[in-house]
Amino acid sequence: MLLLAAAFIVAFVLLLYMVSPLISPKPLKLPGAHVVVTGGSSGIGKCIAIECYKQGAFITLIARDENKLLQTKKEIEKYSVNDKQVVLCISVDVSRDYEQVENVLKQAQEKLGPVDMLVNCAGTSVTGKFEDIEVNCFERLMAVNYLGSVYPSRSVIATMKERRMGRIVFVSSQAGQLGLFGYTAYSPTKFALRGLAEALQMEVKPYNIYVTVAYPPDTDTPGFAEESKTKPLETKLISETSSVCQAEQVARVIVKDAIQGNFNSSVGSDGYMLSILTSGMSPVTSITEGLQQVVCMGIFRIVGLFYLGSFDSIVRRCMMQREKSESADKTE
Ligand SMILES: NC(=O)C1=CN([C@@H]2O[C@H](COP(=O)(O)OP(=O)(O)OC[C@H]3O[C@@H](n4cnc5c(N)ncnc54)[C@H](OP(=O)(O)O)[C@@H]3O)[C@@H](O)[C@H]2O)C=CC1
Ligand SMILES: CCCCCCCCCCCCCCCC(=O)[C@@H](N)CO
């Protein structure tokens, strides 16, 4: 009886593998492709642009600061693999005005052809206690991190559907998979990208367009350095649970997953566990991935509960420390 059950499971898994080409997309060919990277003038976005350029792509960089854009263009051009490659720079705020974003993307497509891959990486972060964060920060972060990904994506999707091909990448964050002390303004903007990505993927899959959501851990970038200046102690201590990654490494993983059309992109062992644990009703792009989720989810929840316990104790310790030093101040 047991043997029969085992044989049945093996046969079922084999069957799944036989149909797996049906759900696994064909890899995108980067040589000669047009890749647009918002936030391409710094940090993770810059490294994604370099990674694609090294593989023969034509690049459009989008960000606000023109000087930073030009400087990055020069830096990227050092990695050219043929003399036809172009790096185009566009200075625009991705979160201000939809028409403007649509216009500049039209111009970019006139120059470098239709967009094969759009990487939404422009983003920013503010940390602090809920009551200490200015109300307009909640609006600004939602505008830049969320709407700033909606606008460029909406601008290129019609052409991608016509061509029956394309890749759209959203750069979320580990803070888009779980909420942590200090991230009340930032986390929701990154969670929002996941909802957008799931709904959009269901719409565009029949058109052979694949959506990737990347969840990087803390990564050594100018943006991270800026964020660290005002980070609450709790957030720092909790984040130290996982180590800081290099932007080059994060970019390599994101580009690889986007080319393959993987819905999920994570880095490191914490990233792996978090992605399995929070896979919910997100689409799968390989049988192996689905099986890993089914088998590991329960175990990772147990691991996760220990993490949550340690985070709670960090927060409690910091609170008691603060109260102690405050009462010491008063008695002085
Ligand atoms: N570094 C980290 O620890 C992590 C980062 N992330 C996410 O990765 C992305 C990149 O982060 P990181 O490399 O650290 O960021 P950086 O601050 O180093 O770079 C941000 C880039 O986005 C551009 N940008 C910011 N706002 C706008 C805007 N309104 N319109 C157009 N461009 C804009 C910036 O250029 P300019 O200012 O000139 O416009 C710059 O090119 C962000 O979405 C971030 O949330 C996720 C997880 C971890
Ligand atoms: C089984 C479950 C394992 C859970 C492990 C959890 C580890 C939590 C560490 C979270 C670090 C927060 C990253 C935010 C990065 C970010 O987006 C900003 N730095 C942007 O500037």
CA of 196 to the centre of ligand 1 (A): 19
* CB of 239 sitting under 6 A from ligand 2: yes
Q: Whose CA is nearest to atom 23 of ligand 1?
A: 39
Asked, for residue 136, whether it belongs to a domain, the answer is yes
Least confident stretch, 1-5, 260-264, 313-317 = 1-5
Q: Which domain holds residue 88?
A: 29-298
Return the DSSP state at 207. Answer: G
pLDDT band at 269 (very low <50, low <70, confident <90, very high): very high
* CB of 220 sitting under 6 A from ligand 2: no
Asked, for residue 303, whether it belongs to a domain, the answer is no
- Enumerate residues 6+ apart whose C-beta is below 8 A from 80: 53
CATH number at 177 reads 3.40.50.720
CA of 40 to the centre of ligand 2 (A): 22
Does residue 238 carry a pLDDT above 90?
A: yes
Residues acting as catalytic residues:
172, 186, 190
User: How far from 232 is each of 128, 269, 319, CA to CA, in Å?
Assistant: 6, 25, 12
Q: What is the pLDDT of residue 24?
A: 79
Of ligand 1's listed atoms, the one at least distance from the Cα of 245 is 3
* CB of 304 sitting under 6 A from ligand 2: yes
Asked, for residue 112, whether it belongs to a domain, the answer is yes
Asked, for residue 186, whether it belongs to a domain, the answer is yes
Given ligand 1 and candidates 44, 170, 240, which is best to mutate, with the most ligand atoms within 8 Å of its CB? Answer: 44
Beta bridge partners of residue 103, listed in sequence order: none
* CB of 208 sitting under 6 A from ligand 2: no
Nearest C-alpha neighbor of 61 from the set 148, 81, 70: 70
Of ligand 1's listed atoms, the one at least distance from the Cα of 41 is 41
CA of 8 to the centre of ligand 1 (A): 49
pLDDT band at 10 (very low <50, low <70, confident <90, very high): confident
Domain count, the chain: 1
Asked, for residue 5, whether it belongs to a domain, the answer is no
Beta bridge partners of residue 169, listed in sequence order: 119, 212
Asked, for residue 12, whether it belongs to a domain, the answer is no
pLDDT band at 23 (very low <50, low <70, confident <90, very high): low
Q: What is the mean pLDDT of the chain?
A: 95
Q: What average pLDDT score do residues 189-201 get?
A: 98
**Ligand showing the shortest atom-to-Cα distance for residue 149:** 1
Q: What is the pLDDT of residue 18?
A: 66
Asked, for residue 272, whether it belongs to a domain, the answer is yes
CA of 132 to the centre of ligand 2 (A): 21
Q: What is the pLDDT of residue 247?
A: 98
Instruction: Tell me the pLDDT tens digit for each residue of 97-156.
Output: 999 999 999 999 999 999 999 999 999 999 999 999 999 999 999 999 999 999 999 999
Asked, for residue 306, whether it belongs to a domain, the answer is no
Does residue 21 carry a pLDDT above 60?
A: no
User: How far from 131 is each of 3, 92, 135, 176, 183, CA to CA, in Å?
Assistant: 60, 32, 9, 21, 12
